[in-house]
Amino acid sequence: MKKFAALLLALALLVPAMAQAKDKVLMMATTTSTDNTGLLDELMPEFTKDSGIDIRWTAIGTGKALAMGRNCDVDVLLVHAPGAEKKFVKNGHGVDRTQLMYNDFVIVGPAADPAQVKGMPVEKALKAIAKAKAPFASRGDNSGTNKKEISLWKAAGMAVPDKADWYMQLGQGMLKTLNAAAQKGAYTMTDRGTWIKYMDVNKGKTPLKIVVEGDKVLFNQYSAIAINPAVCPNAKVELANEFIAWMASPKAQKAIGDFRLLGKQLFTPNAGK
Amino acid sequence: MGFIYEGLLKAFELLFNGNPETWSAVYITLCVSSLSIFFTILLGAPLGFVLGYCRFKGRETLRMITDTLLSFPTVVIGLLVYSLVSRQGPLGDYGLLFTLPGIAIGQVMLGMPIVVAMVANAVENSDSGMKDTLLTLGADNIQVLKATLWETRYHLMLAGVAAYGRIVSEIGISMMVGGNIKWHTRTITTAIALETGKGEFAMGIALGVVLLIIAFGVNFSVAKLKRRAGQ
């Protein structure tokens, strides 16, 4: 009985400790690329040191992050789907959209390149992959990368190959999708940051290679958006703006540019440009 | 095979060198599962006892409902709790999304049917002859109740451990309601899913080993209790 009482007491102490709401907690929804690459792990402790704000983030696709913003479940977004973001702001869900950094998308595929797309422009490459019915792994999760990929199929004058046998919609984050593509010998599209991280994790040993890159349409802009307090009264807009200002500050911008894996830069800062 | 071996080696290194990310996930798992099992038993045991001990109209239907709820899929609970605690949901004002108490709500829903059903079963099946004997010996109703409670103590523990095993190993609720937030709501199971997805198998294996130890530890105690309960 004594033991039970002790347990009760311990739990009674534990519950309020866990439920305790800290004032300076900022909740962020972000894309998988900023988290998977380790960029946030590198930057956020610095942010917390400078501002005293305890930032917590959940890494999901941009589509889901925007949905969480619409539901008022987070305070700030760090995402990469400019079209959807502008609509989000225009509909009154977000304020102060600020561009912070960019990299580019690349199409990677098996080294043997079964569809022979190496060096082609994007549209031609996608057409060739579809024609050869070469396996293609899609994020399939309405993320920023997925939205971009869908727009590219359309730009190539094709319907999105939704039910095609060779088209796999994984519904997973970018690193998972790259791993699946490697296992299945499939092509896929990724942001360069996550690609470098993937090479780093696998120590350069991978059956995948970059086949298409450098096309202007493959530009990949990351921005932060504060959730509109007029729509979501609980949104901590002041903390969100403090975060955005810090990310756009010379110090953070330099840290973004200095973040390297395998000696390569993953993101290029471009706040205020 | 190489990477499994490498993973195991790395796993022990992570555990014994006190890797903070690994131990944070372990600590959070223990916190949230303790919270969940506490409320599961607190709410479930009396309900189960009433359901097994008392005779009232609609009792059979209630028993059937709890038995049916035993197979509540965790992703559905996750979805349900998410829609309840999201800011747009009915419990939105409490800010429970992305918190351990939020996860605990779902885990209590997961564990409750197990405790209710098992306790009700045990009470129902406990020696009904004992009740008559006690009554003939002049015991009053309160004394009979006390005796029955005492008789089912092992079954209650058994129910608790069974529910704990399910709670500690679930992932659907932790992922959807907790959001897998590093240092805050990243449990062992969500961390394994994340690390495996990233291709970082070593940390996944390290956490898998800890989860195995917890789960096997729980099952081992179930086996011991079963013997004592004489089942």
- Asked if the model's pLDDT at residue A18 lies above 60, the reply is no
Domain holding A127, by residue range, is 104-218
Q: Which residues of B touch A (CB under 8 A)?
A: 31, 34-35, 38, 86-88, 92, 95, 97-101, 179-184, 197-200
Residue A151: the pLDDT is 95
Nearest chain B CA: its distance from A124 CA (Å): 31
Residue A270: the pLDDT is 96
CB A76 within 8 A of CB A26: yes
Residues 128-157 of A with CB under 8 A from B: none
Which of B198, B200, B203 is the best residue to mutate to test the A interface, defined by the most A CB atoms within 10 Å of its own CB?
B198
Nearest chain B CA: its distance from A18 CA (Å): 7
Number of domains in chain A: 2
Spatial distance between the Cα atoms of A240 and A248, rounded to a whole number of angstroms: 12
Residue B9: the pLDDT is 87
CB B178 within 8 A of CB B98: yes
- A268 class by beta-carbon count within 10 Å (0-12 exposed, 13-18 middle, 19+ buried): middle
Nearest chain A CA: its distance from B83 CA (Å): 10
Spatial distance between the Cα atoms of A266 and B150, rounded to a whole number of angstroms: 64
Mean pLDDT of A194-208: 91
Which amino acid is present at A43? L
Q: What is the ipTM of this complex?
A: 0.74
- Asked if the model's pLDDT at residue B78 lies above 90, the reply is yes
Number of domains in chain B: 1
Residue A255 C-beta-side C-alpha neighbours within 13 Å: 17
Spatial distance between the Cα atoms of B91 and B174, rounded to a whole number of angstroms: 18
What's phi and psi for A196, nearest 5 deg?
A: -65, -40
Reading the block at residue B73, the tokens are 């899929």
Nearest chain B CA: its distance from A155 CA (Å): 31
Q: A22: pLDDT confidence band, cut at 50, 70 and 90? A: low
Mean pLDDT of B183-195: 93
Q: How many Cβ atoms are within 10 Å of B9's Cβ, its own excluded?
A: 12
Asked if B87 lies within 8 A of A72 by C-beta distance, the reply is yes
- Asked if the model's pLDDT at residue A198 lies above 60, the reply is yes
- Asked if the model's pLDDT at residue A4 lies above 70, the reply is no
Percent of chain A with pLDDT over 70: 92
Residue A15: the pLDDT is 54
Asked if B197 lies within 8 A of A176 by C-beta distance, the reply is yes
CB B101 within 8 A of CB A15: yes
Residues A201 and A261 occupy one common structural domain: no
**Nearest-by-Cβ selection for A18 from B101, B181, B198:** B101
Residue A112: the pLDDT is 94
* Cα three-residue angle B65-B67-B73, rounded to 5 degrees: 95
Q: Minimal CA–CA distance to A31: which of A72, A70, A76?
A: A76
pTM, two decimals, is 0.83
- Asked if the model's pLDDT at residue A13 lies above 60, the reply is no
Q: B88: pLDDT confidence band, cut at 50, 70 and 90? A: confident
Residues A207 and A225 occupy one common structural domain: no
- Asked if the model's pLDDT at residue B63 lies above 80, the reply is yes
CATH number of the domain to which A124 belongs: 3.40.190.10
CATH number of the domain to which B85 belongs: 1.10.3720.10
Q: How many Cβ atoms are within 10 Å of A219's Cβ, its own excluded?
A: 12
A23-52 confidence digits (pLDDT tens): 789 999 999 899 999 999 999 999 999 999
Which residues in chain B are closer than 8 Å to A36, comparing Cβ atoms? 198
Q: DSSP for B76-114, please give it.
A: HHHHHHHHHHSTTSTTGGG--TTSHHHHHHHHHHHHHHH
B103-134 confidence digits (pLDDT tens): 999 999 999 999 999 999 999 887 667 777 88
CB B115 within 8 A of CB B48: yes
Asked if A175 lies within 8 A of B197 by C-beta distance, the reply is yes
- Asked if the model's pLDDT at residue B173 lies above 80, the reply is yes
Residues A119 and A204 occupy one common structural domain: yes
Nearest chain A CA: its distance from B31 CA (Å): 8
* Cα three-residue angle A247-A251-A254, rounded to 5 degrees: 90
Integer Rg of chain A from CA? 21
Residue A5: the pLDDT is 61
What's phi and psi for A203, nearest 5 deg?
A: 50, 40
Residue A239: the pLDDT is 96
Asked if A71 lies within 8 A of B180 by C-beta distance, the reply is no
Asked if B35 lies within 8 A of A176 by C-beta distance, the reply is no
Residues A108 and A214 occupy one common structural domain: yes
**Nearest-by-Cβ selection for B95 from A21, A41, A71:** A21
Residue A273: the pLDDT is 80
Which of B87, B105, B156 is the best residue to mutate to test the A interface, defined by the most A CB atoms within 10 Å of its own CB?
B87
A179 close contact with B: CB closer than 8 A: yes
Residues 72-111 of A with CB under 8 A from B: 72-73
Which of B98, B100, B156, B157 is the best residue to mutate to test the A interface, defined by the most A CB atoms within 10 Å of its own CB?
B98
CB within 8 A of B70, min separation 6: which ones? B113, B114, B117
Reading the block at residue B91, the tokens are 């419990």
Mean pLDDT of A149-157: 95
CB B119 within 8 A of CB B53: no
Residue B11: the pLDDT is 81
Chain centre distance of CA A168: 20
Residue B226 C-beta-side C-alpha neighbours within 13 Å: 10
Mean pLDDT of B205-213: 89
Average pLDDT of every residue of chain A: 91
Instruction: For chains A and B, count residue pairs whose Cβ atoms are closer than 8 Å.
Output: 59
**Nearest-by-Cβ selection for B87 from A71, A172, A201:** A71
A193 close contact with B: CB closer than 8 A: no
Greater confidence, B61 or B140?
A: B61
Spatial distance between the Cα atoms of A211 and A146, rounded to a whole number of angstroms: 18
A88-147 confidence digits (pLDDT tens): 999 999 999 999 999 999 999 999 999 999 999 999 999 999 999 999 999 999 999 999
**Nearest-by-Cβ selection for A172 from B34, B180, B197:** B197
**Nearest-by-Cβ selection for B100 from A18, A172, A198:** A18
Greater confidence, A264 or B196?
A: A264
Which residues in chain B are closer than 8 Å to A59, comparing Cβ atoms? 180
- Asked if the model's pLDDT at residue B200 lies above 90, the reply is no
Nearest chain B CA: its distance from A68 CA (Å): 9
Residues A224 and A99 occupy one common structural domain: yes
- Asked if the model's pLDDT at residue B156 lies above 80, the reply is yes
Asked if B88 lies within 8 A of A72 by C-beta distance, the reply is yes
Percent of chain A with pLDDT over 90: 83
